[in-house]
Amino acid sequence: MDYAQVAEQTFLALDAGKAMRELGLTVPASPIRTETIMGRSFDPAGPAAWTGRAIRT
């Protein structure tokens, strides 16, 4: 990921937070959170644990 992509993702998160506040919604403290994908927990802070098991050779 290059700097332009990081900047784009940052501004998208900021714009989304602003829109949520305008609608009276609670904005999460962090846009990064653990998700359940295909029945398995995915932590974006450590994606290798998930992707290593997901890739079958």
pLDDT for 56 equals 59
pLDDT for 22 equals 95
Record the pTM: 0.47
C-alpha distances (whole Å) from 19 to each of 5, 9, 45 are 21, 15, 26
Handedness of CA 39, 16, 26, 22 (dihedral sign): negative
| Average pLDDT per 10 consecutive residues for the chain, totaling 57 residues | 73 86 90 81 80 62
pLDDT for 30 equals 77
